[in-house]
Amino acid sequence: MKTSLLLAFLSLTSISFSQENEEVQTIKIKKEKLFAKAAFDDTEYKVIAFDRYGNPHEQAIKSFTIFYKEDNVARQASVQGNTFPKKTIDFLTKKKKFATKICLMNIKAEDKEGHLEDLPDLCDIVIFPDCKKNKH
């Protein structure tokens, strides 16, 4: 009986020592991004976010920056929201005689939990002037 108690005691102590010597592992969780890309709606001059399943989210875009060149000078305009300001639309469509190539950068979209996500840039977008005003 003493031998069995001694064996039981030794096995329990060896188990407890073996648990203490193991290295503690951590689990890292990476949150998947909801949004995959953005697209430019050239009829309403707004930017729309698309999730990884291809569903559009019109109100998700919170800000972006418009980059374009004019007379060999790079210009930019920061926009809050998802729609081009009327002043920018008028400049690009009514005051210019030639098409303008723009790039949308620093696109930020907000998910349902309020987290901002960076979306890939949209470049090589061509804005054509209003043809009614530019008759040759």
Local confidence band at 88 (pLDDT 50, 70, 90 cut-offs): confident
> Does residue 1 register a pLDDT over 90?
no
User: Would you say the pTM of this structure is higher than 0.75?
Assistant: no
Interval 42-87: pLDDT, tens: 899 999 999 999 999 989 999 999 998 878 888 888 999 999 999 8
Token digits of residue 19: 């648990």
d(CA 100, CA 124) in angstroms, rounded, equals 10
pLDDT at 5: 66
d(CA 129, CA 21) in angstroms, rounded, equals 72
Domain boundaries, the chain: 35-127
Q: What is the mean pLDDT of residues 85-99?
A: 85
Looking at per-residue pLDDT, the higher value among 100 and 17 belongs to 100
Is 59 in contact with 83 (CB distance < 8 Å)? Answer: no
